Structure formats: structure tokens, C-alpha cells
Amino acid sequence: MTTHLMNTYLPLPVAFARGEGAWLWDEDGKRYLDAISGLGVCSLGHAHPQLAEVIADQATKLLHSGNLVRIPWQEQLADRLAAVTGLDKAFLCNSGTEAIECALKVTRIIGHRKGLHLPGVIVMEQSFHGRTMAALSATGSRKAQAGFEPLVGGFVRAPFGNIDAIATIARRNQDIAAVLVEPIQGEAGIRVPPPGYLARLRDICDEFGWLLIFDEIQSGLCRTGKWYAHQHEDVVPDMITTAKALANGLPVGACVARGPAADAFVPGQHGSTFGGNPLVSRTACTVLDIMRTEDIAGHAERIGNGMLEQFRQRLATYPAVRDVRGRGLMIGIELDREVSRLKQSALERGVLLNVTQERVIRLLPPLIIDPAQAEEIVDVVCALISEFD
Ligand SMILES: Cc1ncc(COP(=O)(O)O)c(C=O)c1O
């Protein structure tokens, strides 16, 4: 291992040389089933032929021109994002955390216009929004924040899923400008809020003139059976942040907005050197087209809900299992103990999975997995859990 990388990750002792669909091969040629897709990124699987062709073709034409000139592929991507979100305008960046920064900067501008000195944002306990300073400050994890104080101010925290807590803050705090929430919390261990929660948030935001921002970076782009997870409820936010699967592995993120939030910036107020360059924008357009024409959302919903059902049935009698939850192919299995070592045991059995919050097995497989692959993941996970008791 090199000593020239900063000490930020604890990688598993494996490196992959290539992939195809939901399969990965390590440097020794051993095959693995991918049940995490690079943390919810490679939703269309590895080495997708159509994406490979588009990327190669664009590389022979133009990778980058900079935002000093028009970028037609970027305009096309913004059109597609408006269509799938139902919102108006997009800012394109390179990661999830930058999409969050954009949403927070829009909130500051709109809050200042309303005369707020420090426009407040209600954020949720156990949330995760990224690693840059404002996104980190919005995140509900002391562990992630420790050592980086002083944090950016203005964030007011509420328990996730608790609408009364939001109503209480509304009565007491006159400085709030927005609510930022993941429709399904990812890093927190795939936590699904009670039905009606997002719609009630919308009502409160309307009543107090706040912006409603959904962080769909992990839950979005067909993973739960809709383009975006909040679309399971009849709710329209003011802004959505999206990234991860948008270009199936090329770095791209977007903050998509409607109404005043869509028109908050004037030229020069925000930007990004690489943001929305021709290569990532064309790739993201192709990803969205494939997702639409192949009904990837419907497939994810069918396969994922089948897996959830299987897990619920097969794990029902295991005392170590606290909860099986999720939606579509965003699945969490909470155990009564620390299970981080399961990542290594699963790897030995040829499945790549993730554990979050130390006790929750997190599955975010590529959305194109077939029923046999889904069954293999269920079999391996159930076998590993059965060894606990
Ligand atoms: C819900 C959510 N928001 C934001 C982020 C940050 O995204 P990125 O790592 O691309 O900056 C993540 C990453 O896991 C996430 O899951």
C-alpha cells in the first residue's frame, strides 16, 4: 500500500480490475456480486456498452470547454433534470456535497432578501449531506464533524420523522429560511420516515414561507422505484440535490430548483470549473435516457421489494435482527450488534456489501440486477446472519 495517500479511508483488502453489469472481478480474476455499486453510483452496472460508447465518442470530440461558453449538452441535461424532477432550473457541479452547497447558498440569498441576518436551516439528526464545511455542518453526525469546529452556523436540528419538532421550531425561531431533509436517510441506516411526513413538511414550509430542500443524492434516480424517493408522496419541493448515479460513475451533481430558488443567482455569484462539462453532461443525458426507456425505476421497485419481502420472511425468526427496512433497492438490515466484520465475510463469499452505523447492513446494488443475482445476495446475507445465533 502507498504511504502517499492521506489517511481518510479504511479500504477492504481487495481491488477490482474490471466489471460487467452487477459483476466485478478482482486483480486475481475472482468474481464478486456487487451489492453496493460504489455507494449507490453505478446504478446501470459496470462497463455499460452504451455508456462506454458515448464516453469514448465524446472523448474524441470535446471533454471540456469551460462555462465561459455555452455547453449544449449541459443545456440538454438541465432540460432532462427539469422533466424528471418537475422543477425548473439546474446548477451542475461535480459531487453531492457541492449540490448541497449550492442549495445552501440559494437559501442564504433568499433568506437575506427576507431580511434574515443568518438564515436558519432545519436539518435532521443522523442526516448526512457531505464533507465540505457547510454540508458537514448540516450533517447530523458528531463523529463526522469532530475536529472541524468551528462549524458553519445557522443549522437547527430536529429528530428525523418527527413533525411536532418542526412545528415547535417554527413557533420559537423567527430566523428559519429552509428545511433540508433526506426523503430516506442513507448513511443513518436506511431510515424511512412515517407516511405523510414529507407532505406535512411541505405544509409547514408553505405556512411559514420556508424553502423545502430534498437531498436525493442517495435515494434518487430510480433507486426506490420512482425518479426521486419523495415522488412516492404527492409533494413538490423547492430544491432537490442529486448526484451519485447521475453519470453512472463520472463525477457530476446538480441542484435543481423551482420558483424564486431557481432564479436566486445572478451571473458570477456561483460556479464551477468542471461543472457540467460536455463529457459528464452527455453521459448523464444518456443515463437518464436509459433509465427512462428501460423503466429502471419499475425494475428496481419489483426486484427490491421482492428482496425486502424475502429478507423479512427469512430473517423473521432471527433474534439478532432488529429491523428490515427500505424501499426498492435501498435496503437496510439492522442487527442488535456491531457487524462491521460482515463486509469481509461477505467478500470471502463473493458479495460486496456495506455496513453503516456499525449495526446496519446496507445494500445498494446496481438497479439492473436480475432475479438470480438478487436471490444470491439474499442467500449470502441470510447465511452470514444465521451464523450469529
Ligand atoms: C444523502 C447524501 N447527501 C450528500 C452526500 C455527499 O455526496 P458526495 O460524497 O458526492 O459529496 C451523500 C454521500 O454519500 C449522501 O448520501
pLDDT, tens digit, 9 for 90 and up, residues 119-178: 999 999 999 999 999 999 999 999 999 999 999 999 999 999 999 999 999 999 999 999
Residue 319 CA to ligand 1 center (angstroms) comes to 32
C-alpha cell at 116: 434574515
Task: Check pocket membership of 95 for ligand 1, CB cut-off 6 A.
Answer: yes
pLDDT score of 283: 98
Task: Check pocket membership of 163 for ligand 1, CB cut-off 6 A.
Answer: no
Question: Cα–Cα distance between 289 and 80 in angstroms, integer?
Answer: 9
Task: Check pocket membership of 238 for ligand 1, CB cut-off 6 A.
Answer: no
The interaxial angle of helices 296-315 and 278-293, nearest 10 deg, is 70
Q: Average pLDDT over the chain, rounded to whole? A: 97
pLDDT score of 1: 66
The alpha carbon of 192 is separated from its chain's Cα centroid by a whole number of angstroms, namely: 14
Q: Which of 97, 185, 190, 216 to mutate to test the pocket of ligand 1 (most atoms within 8 A of CB)?
A: 97
Residue with cell 415522488: 231
Query: Which of these, 101, 160, 106, lies nearest to 130 by C-alpha position?
Result: 101
pLDDT tops 90 at residue 206 = yes
pLDDT, tens digit, 9 for 90 and up, residues 264-279: 999 999 999 999 999 9
- Dihedral class, residue 349 (left if φ above 0, else alpha if ψ from -120 to 50, else beta): alpha
pLDDT band at 3 (very low <50, low <70, confident <90, very high): confident
pLDDT score of 2: 72
pLDDT tops 70 at residue 384 = yes
pLDDT score of 388: 79
Task: Check pocket membership of 215 for ligand 1, CB cut-off 6 A.
Answer: yes
Q: What percent of the chain has pLDDT over 90?
A: 98
Question: Cα–Cα distance between 279 and 314 in angstroms, integer?
Answer: 45
**Cβ neighbours of residue 362 closer than 8 Å, sequence gap 6 or more:** 36, 186, 189, 190, 331, 332, 353, 354, 355, 356
DSSP state of 163: H
Query: Which of these, 289, 221, 226, lies nearest to 256 by C-alpha position?
Result: 221
Q: Are 248 and 215 in contact (CB under 8 A)?
A: no
Task: Check pocket membership of 101 for ligand 1, CB cut-off 6 A.
Answer: no
Question: Cα–Cα distance between 320 and 332 in angstroms, integer?
Answer: 14
Task: Check pocket membership of 139 for ligand 1, CB cut-off 6 A.
Answer: no
**Cβ-based neighbour number of residue 205 at 10 Å:** 22
Amino acid letter for position 45: G
Atom of ligand 1 nearest to the CA of 253: 10
pLDDT, tens digit, 9 for 90 and up, residues 303-325: 999 999 999 999 999 999 999 99
Q: Are 349 and 384 in contact (CB under 8 A)?
A: yes
DSSP state of 230: G
pLDDT tops 70 at residue 378 = yes
Task: Check pocket membership of 216 for ligand 1, CB cut-off 6 A.
Answer: no
Q: In this structure, are strands 120-124 and 176-181 parallel, antiparallel, or unpaired?
A: parallel
Q: Taking residues 101-125, what's their average pLDDT?
A: 98
Residue 172 CA to ligand 1 center (angstroms) comes to 30
